[in-house]
A and B are shown apart, each in its own frame.
Chain A
Amino acid sequence: MGKVNNNVPLEYSTEENNLKIFGFWTFLGAEIMLFGTLFASYFVLSGRTGDGPTAAEIFEIGPVLAETFILLTSSFTIGLAIHAMRLGSKKATLSFMGVTLLLGAAFISVEIYEFVHYVHVGAGITTSAFTSALLTTLGTHGLHVTFGLFWGIFIMIQIAKRGLNSVTAGKTFVFSLYWHFLDVVWIFIFSFIYLKGMM
């Protein structure tokens, strides 16, 4: 590690951290493209329902709204975690991260319920072009959230063991970028897959 700059928040205090944070933004650019191609496929295929059900027949507004408000709130709490980190409070940082991950787990639980429901009503991944594109898009987002849960747990363990320093602060900040980004993707899934499908 190079020079430490004490005039900026911990996560920006070393050159290495600045490069890692910038690098992660570049990765998010690639993620935008990944989800963009999934959306393109979904929009093209969403009408090709074959003998299977249509979007309006299988979507349920209840679980979708639950998922949306859970994820929005978790995006708020990870923001508060970063704020607490900048105030130097290890305890508050860990608490807000804990709440974030619990909300993430709640989101995944609702999504699992939703997938079981789809299969139950005869909309499996091989049913039609529509269900394939739908479950692939939702599944890719859900896998990202699941990965984030484990990632977040390991970062919490590191903060608990080593405290807030330039290394753990950098990792936590990058994790917060990832988590907010998943909320951004969800906003588009909520708007252009669910609401559009039920309109």
Chain B
Amino acid sequence: MAKFFPKGQIMGFVFSLILTVIAMLVYFTDMSFTTGMVILLVTAFIQAGLQFIVFMHAGETNDKWAIYSNIVYGIGLVVLTVLGSLLILLWDM
């Protein structure tokens, strides 16, 4: 049975649970909006990286640089879209 539960994936799962619990602190403890957002940004992006690398095996083939640039490009566009929308439509700059 043990061979079906590789250590790396179990560690990845435990780590993702820990990150979720840290994110939950934002709700269960009193903290400023800024501190909360910083915590959420850090935990969410580490979690995403964990999924891509540990569980989705993004780096295991020769295509890895194409895969990474594709993901980074996608995330870059999203950051631009989200921040751009907020700047123009919400923060009135």
* Complex CA distance for A40 and B37, rounded to whole angstroms: 16
Please count how many residues in chain B sit with their CB below 8 Å of the partner chain's CB atoms: 48
Please name the residue on chain B nearest to A189 by beta carbon: B44
- Majority SS at the chain B contact face: helix
* Distance between Cα atoms of A159 and B9 in the complex (Å): 23
CA distance A29 to B51 in the complex (A): 15
Taking CB atoms, residues of chain B closer than 8 Å to A29 are 70-71, 73-74
Once the chains bind, are B90 and A72 in contact (CB under 8 Å)?
no
Rounded to whole Å, the gap between the CB of A184 and the closest CB of chain B is 5
Contacts of B81 in A (CB 8 A): 33, 36-37, 40
Q: A190-B23, A191-B40, A199-B26 are in contact. Are A72 and B4 (CB under 8 A)?
A: no
Whole-angstrom CA separation of A55 from B20 in the bound complex: 20
Cross-interface CB contact of A196 among B37, B71, B73, cutoff 8 Å: B37
Binds B, one of A81-89, A107-115, A118-126, A142-150: A81-89
Given contacts A76-B9, A83-B6, A196-B37, contact A12 B86 (CB under 8 A): no
Inter-chain CA distance A185–B51, complex, in Å, is 11
Q: Are B77 and A75 in contact (CB under 8 A)?
A: no
- B41-67, CB under 8 A of A: which get 1 and which 0? 101100110011011111001010011
B34 → A minimal CB distance (Å): 11
Q: How far is the CA of A191 from the CA of B38 in the complex (A)?
A: 11
Q: Are A188 and B24 within 8 A (Cβ)? A: no
**Tally of A interface residues using CB under 8 Å:** 53
Which residues, 60 to 83 on A, are CB-close (under 8 Å) to B? 61, 65, 68-69, 72-73, 75-76, 78-80, 82-83
Q: Tell me which residues across on chain B come within 8 A of A30, comparing CB atoms.
A: 74
Instruction: Write out the residue numbers on chain B whose beta carbons fall within 8 Å of the beta carbon of A177.
Output: 56
B90 and A195 contact, CB distance less than 8 A = no
Interface centre among A22, A29, A65, A191, by most chain B C-beta atoms within 10 angstroms, is A191
A33 to B74, Cβ gap below 8 A? yes
Considering only residues 90-145 of chain A, those with a C-beta below 8 Å from chain B are 92, 96
A68-B51 Cα distance, complex, nearest whole Å? 14
Q: A22–B82 contact, CB under 8 A?
A: no
B37 touches A12 (CB 8 A): no
Residues of A within 8 A of B9 (CB): 76, 79-80, 83
User: Measuring CB to CB, which residues of chain B are less than 8 angstroms from any residue of chain A?
Assistant: 3-6, 9, 12-13, 16-17, 20, 23-24, 26-27, 33, 36-37, 40-41, 43-44, 47-48, 51-52, 54-58, 61, 63, 66-67, 70-71, 73-75, 77-78, 81-82, 84-86, 89-90
Question: Beyond the given A40-B78, A72-B17, A184-B48, could you list 10 further A-B residue pairs with CB under 8 A, ordered by the A residue number?
Answer: A25-B71, A33-B81, A36-B78, A72-B16, A79-B54, A92-B4, A180-B52, A191-B40, A195-B36, A196-B40
